[in-house]
Chain A
Amino acid sequence: QVQLVQSGAEVKKPGSSVKVSCKASGDTFINYPMSWVRQAPGQGLEWMGRIIPLREKPNYAQKFQGRVTISADRSTSTAFMELSSLRSEDTAIYYCAYITGSTIDYWGQGTLVTVSS
C-alpha cells in the first residue's frame, strides 16, 4: 500500500520561502510522477508541477515558473516543493500526489502553508 506523508504546517512571512516535503512508502517512488497541487481556502484545486524522480527533470505550470522548485531525493523516497517570494495569496493547503491518469493515484494528507505578516 502506497502512503504519502507530508511535513507539518508552516507559517511564513511575505517574501520568504517555504519547503514542503512528501515521503513515499513502497517502491513506486522512482517511476511514478509526483505532482504538487494546492488549494486555497474555500477554493478549487490548482496543479503546480510534477517530477518523475527517475528522470529528475520537473515540469511546472507557467503560473509558478520561476517561483517553484520541485525536487526529489531517491535515497529517502522524498519529494520536495519549494515556493519562494511568498505572498498572502499563497496561503493554501499543498498536496503531493501521484497523478498518473490511471488507477495509480495517491495523495498526501496535505500541508497548510499560511503566509501572514
Chain B
Amino acid sequence: DIQMTQSPSSVSASVGDRVTITCRASQGISSWLAWYQQKPGKAPKLLIYAVSSLQSGVPLRFSGSGSGTEFTLTISSLQPEDFATYYCQQANSFPYTFGQGTKLEIK
C-alpha cells in the first residue's frame, strides 16, 4: 500500500496568515493527488485534484503543487472559514489512501 504522510499534524495560525501543508507519498503517484477539506460533522470537500487543479467554486487562495512523492497545499491568506482538517489522498493505485490529516486551528 502507498503510505501518505502529512505534516504538520496540526497547525495554529491567524486570519491572513499563509499556511503550507506537506504530503509525502511512500512511492511515486504521478499526478493522482487530491486535497480535501473537512469540517466537523460534514463530509470531506474536494479542494484540489490532479496535484494543482482547483475544484470549481474553491477560492483562489487555495493552491496545490508538487510532483513524484512530495506535494503541498498552500492557503495564501487564511480566512475564518478555512479552519478545518485537511487531507491529502492518492488515487494512483489501490487501495486509495489518505494522509492522517492536518488540523488547522485558530491561533
* Residues on A facing B (Cβ under 8 Å): 35, 44-47, 49-50, 59-63, 95, 97, 99-103, 105, 107-110
Could you show 15 A-B contacts with beta carbons less than 8 Å apart?
A44-B100, A45-B38, A45-B44, A45-B89, A45-B101, A47-B89, A62-B1, A95-B44, A97-B43, A101-B32, A101-B49, A101-B50, A103-B46, A105-B46, A105-B49
Pick from B36, B56, B95, B99: contact of A103, CB under 8 Å: B56
* Chain B at the A interface: SS class: loop
By a CB distance below 8 angstroms, the chain B residues around A50 are 96
Interface size on B, residues (CB 8 A): 25
Inter-subunit contact B99/A44 (CB<8 Å): yes
Residues of B within 8 A of A (CB): 1, 32, 34, 36, 38, 43-46, 49-50, 53, 55-56, 87, 89, 91, 94-101
Q: Is B43 in contact with A108, judged by CB distance below 8 angstroms?
A: yes
Contacts of B99 in A (CB 8 A): 44
Is the pair A110, B49 in contact by a Cβ cutoff of 8 Å?
Answer: no
A102–B50 CB distance below 8 A: yes
Q: A62-B1, A101-B49, A102-B49 are in contact. Are A107 and B91 (CB under 8 A)?
A: no
A103–B55 contact, CB under 8 A? Answer: yes
Determine which of A47, A107, A110 lies in contact with B97 in the assembled complex, contact meaning CB atoms within 8 Å. Answer: A47
Contacts of A45 in B (CB 8 A): 36, 38, 44, 87, 89, 98, 101
In the complex, are the beta carbons of A61 and B94 less than 8 A apart?
A: yes
Contacts of B95 in A (CB 8 A): 47, 49, 59-63
Q: Knowing A35-B96, A44-B100, say if A101 contacts B34 (CB, 8 Å).
A: yes
Contacting pair B53 A44 (CB below 8 A): no
Q: Please, how many angstroms separate the alpha-carbon atoms of A74 and B74 in the complex?
A: 40
**Are B55 and A105 in contact (CB-based, < 8 A)?**
yes
In the complex, residue of chain B having the shortest beta-carbon distance to the beta carbon of A63: B95
Residues of A within 8 A of B44 (CB): 45, 95, 97, 107
- In the bound assembly, the distance between CA atoms of A101 and B93 in angstroms comes to 11
For the complex, what is the distance from the CA of A61 to the CA of B97, rounded to whole Å?
A: 10
Instruction: Pick the residue among A61, A63, A103 that contacts B53 (CB under 8 A).
Output: A103
Among B34, B43, B46, B89, contact of A109 (Cβ-Cβ < 8 Å): B43
